[in-house]
Structure 1
């Protein structure tokens, strides 16, 4: 992957300032240390940082159409580019490189924005059509590659990360209070909202057309689960397993294509073990694997080393264990927030950063990972809870009815429960907010706004409702964002996710739900496939939810900088939170007998701590 940035001034005579464009683009050095390029023509400027993965010599960007009227920069990979390339060559197009993303240019010449329906990949690109005087931007189906934008009085700005846009001299830095409120209520920010006022994230499966000082956002793909009125497929189980195997093998094969070394993460769980085994099947040999483990006795409850070693031994992979000591958290947390550009709800991104750092040291540039399987096949506890609730009718009191109203706002369905009772939690949130923030609360309350497109879960099976919301909130907003893309690219490593293949997802969404959650057996069909590739000990092990030490441990460590950033005086001066209530929480969290039970309990102080780091890191103002 790479890093892209750009400026499109509204007035054609307003020349783009090269120094500004260079500064914006160089904030993305970590995403592309191998090369840089800049294109400026009058009021348009494109900046590019390259991480060389395919066609190391000739794959430099921007790419230009033969008459140079169309200019392209792209962050990402097009996995089906070889098939598309053959099709385009047959139509008479002549390529200048063997780089995968060059196909976008010629697909645009053939199909316009319809090109998006032909791509299988992870991408965020910007394309300028000089004949139309039109800027066209798009983001992949699942939001693997980030793309942020801002509309100012003078220009349209975009970048792979927010920090690039913040370098534009006329940007005013302010906290988006709805973004802050979302972090407390949801797994992460809900796209297009960010923590930065006036800076938006282009939604997954969407494109933008910028022309005549107008920005038009359109959807080209979404995870459209069948509604209950559609007939359910009744093919034999073996058919589904065979189809899943074929699609996963193709997905892995696509994602192994690179002109640089490729490895994979091995957690010791089912998802990464399946991916590792399929890599070995495709290549005829195993690849390099990487795992996080914990040397301290007190961490053995979260240590998966035993299963990692079983699986790496089974695969005969060249395995690297990264022993992580939690004393390193306070040294790394600032870096994590710089790359994440958002507060966090837990600290395990520090492990992800350490893991990608070791991958970089081993000179591996591409890593495959198992994200997406839990959301596709029902791997979280919430899917089982839904199953139990559906068989247990409840009477509703007044509090239930008030909660129903919030759920109607968020999901369009008063009976859909996601992570918590938001009506009860609202009191907790507002008790943390300062008096000033509570005065403004009605203007930024995220519970009043739809969290998703209601039509996408209306009339769907409860399993599909949760899966859709998980894809939008947990996966796109967190797992392949601050936990995925940001933590791998921080160390010049590209993450690829075989479960997030559009052909695979299109198949899985039509599977009968009991192929995913069979009674109380989660990931049923994936487990049936896994018996062919993975030791039974891995398949039958209990689902493991990794829990990293949180704010309680940081406070008990009496770290000087943690004490400073969480001090009463600083909290009061910044004005976002109630310093007296934060002090009460700190006292509670420091008690020897205090225990949080994630994912059922929120680590409220880690959100506040990392939000305060965000303010300091990016120079955001006090309220």
Structure 2
């Protein structure tokens, strides 16, 4: 794992290219604290900050092919690099290093851009062809590793994080109002848009070619599902469980291979517990596990984390987060994420990664991705119940199923069937709406836009973030089963834009820690698309097939416990002893007026309400965190609130 930066074109600034490259690379030094390198070429420049995990002694970058034609900077890991190396050597390739970086060079030399189909990994890289003066840039299939770019003065600049792009003198930091609307609706900008105006994200499973003919984008892989009536879907649970177990074992084994020890996160849930169970016998020596807990019992899963650690005999490390801990580090979290947030959930993960690094480790396995790939989220079950209720909208019995979905939300227990039906929107909904599964989430989140300023509302006009999202859906989307439609929305949009970014790569790499995701092995993703929906969501039992695989590996109490999504205290984190001077400052009427994005009077009432009695509703919590994080973002990245 590393940080990279570079450019294509002829730089027209007073800065020497070497100095500019060094400044860009220094902005992402946290991603690669072990080594650094840069090279200025004819028409391009590449810089690199290295976190050495594979090929420690000879994997320095930028790396050049023996014949000097290709030069590469690379962030991530190619997990099947040993297999690829053997195949390439059998075809005559001669290697000078032990790193997976050199494998990419040889793959490209032999297969060109088709090299991507051979790689099983999490990656973002840029490869310069000296002879053709062409830059080939690519990102992994599911969007684990980030890559951003912008164009100015006829030059393309790119980097692992936007901070590096802001070191270019002609690149200005300005908030994109449309991106802010997307964040306050969908939780994250819709790629390629970022929070920064005129700065873009290379989308997952995409490659870019940049040469004298301009810039060309192309998708090289897509997440596809069978038609509803496709006879080729997998129905046999026994055979599917056997195949899943073999795939998951191999995916874990590939990701635990490194020249440094690899630990594992333990959340206390099924997914991370199963990964740890697979990893434990594959680990040379003692498996280190890491967990985050909370002082507030409603959020804490420490009991289950310790249970799994004891059952697997891991060397366990844990931290406990108090509300004021979140407030203390939240500005650093926004700095790392580079985007306003409507939740505080990334903050504890920022501290967890810090614990990993303080423990002397650089890489950890996680259970992320299982909920998306095997239908574990409550949103999938909720959509199923909503459709069930919509078929008999006058039923007094069916809406009571919603109480079973959210036992950790005690307020639902006292609600009448009519109130539940209204809250979950089963009346007057369009069952053919491509965003049907996610409309309640979007509606609940977007309610926080009540706090937008009149000027911002005027600038946005009738813009609809949901409709833009719908416009990006593939043509075959309507032919898929409803569960697969919902899964696609999660895997294609929220997973890379929020889960793997704000809660994943950016929090971990702020401390030079690489997170690895066995459930996001693309072979597992492709296998899961072929499963009949009932093997994923069986009745209201989520991750049905995965539970079968976990039965003999995970403690029964963990396997049978009611699913509890990962959450953290939101607005409560910023009151009482958790209130910091920066909160009082940035949420004051004067500062809100100064930024211009929110209604100062409305925000002032929200701030005082939180301080005096606390906020309980989803809308108010979302608004409070969203407004505060936007104010922090503006102060961190722009001159608007300096």
TM over 0.5: yes
Distance 2:467 2:16 in 1: 40
Counterpart secondary structure, 2:380: helix
Quote the offset at 1:98 in angstroms.
0.6
Contact 2:272 2:367 in 1 (8 A): yes
Aligned match of 1:321: 318
Contact 2:81 2:103 in 1 (8 A): yes
Aligned match of 2:402: none
Whether 1:517 and 2:537 are equivalent positions in the alignment is yes
RMSD, aligned α-carbons? 2.6
Contact 1:9 1:16 in 2 (8 A): no
Aligned match of 2:417: none
Structure 1 residues 469, 245: CA separation in 2 closer, same or farther (over 3 Å shift)?
Answer: same
Aligned match of 1:346: 343
Contact 1:16 1:45 in 2 (8 A): no
Contact 1:550 1:606 in 2 (8 A): yes
Contact 1:12 1:43 in 2 (8 A): no
Distance 1:351 1:11 in 2: 41
Quote the offset at 1:286 in angstroms.
5.1
Quote the offset at 1:429 in angstroms.
4.9
Distance 1:554 1:469 in 2: 32
Match of residue 540, structure 1, among 560, 571, 583: 560
Q: Normalising by structure 1, what TM-score?
A: 0.93
Distance 2:604 2:631 in 1: 15
Whether 1:146 and 2:146 are equivalent positions in the alignment is yes
Contact 1:14 1:43 in 2 (8 A): no
Aligned match of 1:508: 528
Aligned match of 2:20: 20
Unpaired runs of 5+ residues, structure 1, are none
Structure 1 residues 234, 172: CA separation in 2 closer, same or farther (over 3 Å shift)?
Answer: closer
Distance 2:339 2:594 in 1: 21
Aligned match of 2:386: 389
Distance 2:107 2:234 in 1: 38
Structure 1 residues 136, 353: CA separation in 2 closer, same or farther (over 3 Å shift)?
Answer: same
Q: Map 1:102-501; keep pairs closer than 5 Å.
A: 102-212=102-212, 214-233=214-233, 235-283=235-283, 287-294=287-294, 296=295, 299-393=296-390, 413=433, 416-420=436-440, 428-442=447-461, 445-451=464-470, 452-455=472-475, 457-501=477-521
Structure 1 residues 81, 587: CA separation in 2 closer, same or farther (over 3 Å shift)?
Answer: same
Contact 1:175 1:620 in 2 (8 A): no
Could you report, residue by residue, the CA deviation over 1:35-93 in whole angstroms, capped at 9, with x for unpaired residues?
00001023311010000001111011122222211111100100111111111111111
Contact 2:189 2:497 in 1 (8 A): yes
Contact 1:266 1:273 in 2 (8 A): yes
Distance 1:210 1:412 in 2: 40
Counterpart secondary structure, 2:440: coil
Contact 1:147 1:161 in 2 (8 A): yes
Whether 1:604 and 2:623 are equivalent positions in the alignment is yes
Structure 1 residues 314, 284: CA separation in 2 closer, same or farther (over 3 Å shift)?
Answer: farther
Could you report, residue by residue, the CA deviation over 1:278-321 in whole angstroms, capped at 9, with x for unpaired residues?
00133376510011123x4xx12211111111100100000112
Aligned match of 1:573: 594
Range that drifts further, 112-121 or 12-21: 12-21
Contact 2:186 2:465 in 1 (8 A): no
Contact 1:249 1:282 in 2 (8 A): no
Quote the offset at 1:251 in angstroms.
0.3
Quote the offset at 1:211 in angstroms.
1.5
Unpaired runs of 5+ residues, structure 2, are 394-421
Aligned match of 2:635: 616
Distance 1:506 1:192 in 2: 24
Aligned match of 1:89: 89
Quote the offset at 1:105 in angstroms.
0.7
Aligned match of 1:44: 44
Contact 1:70 1:128 in 2 (8 A): yes
Contact 2:328 2:580 in 1 (8 A): no
Could you report, residue by residue, the CA deviation over 1:321-372 in whole angstroms, capped at 9, with x for unpaired residues?
2122222222211111111001112112221111111111111111000000
Contact 2:572 2:614 in 1 (8 A): no
Distance 1:308 1:425 in 2: 30
Counterpart secondary structure, 2:257: coil
Range that drifts further, 379-388 or 361-370: 379-388
Contact 2:79 2:254 in 1 (8 A): yes
Contact 1:148 1:199 in 2 (8 A): yes
Quote the offset at 1:601 in angstroms.
7.5
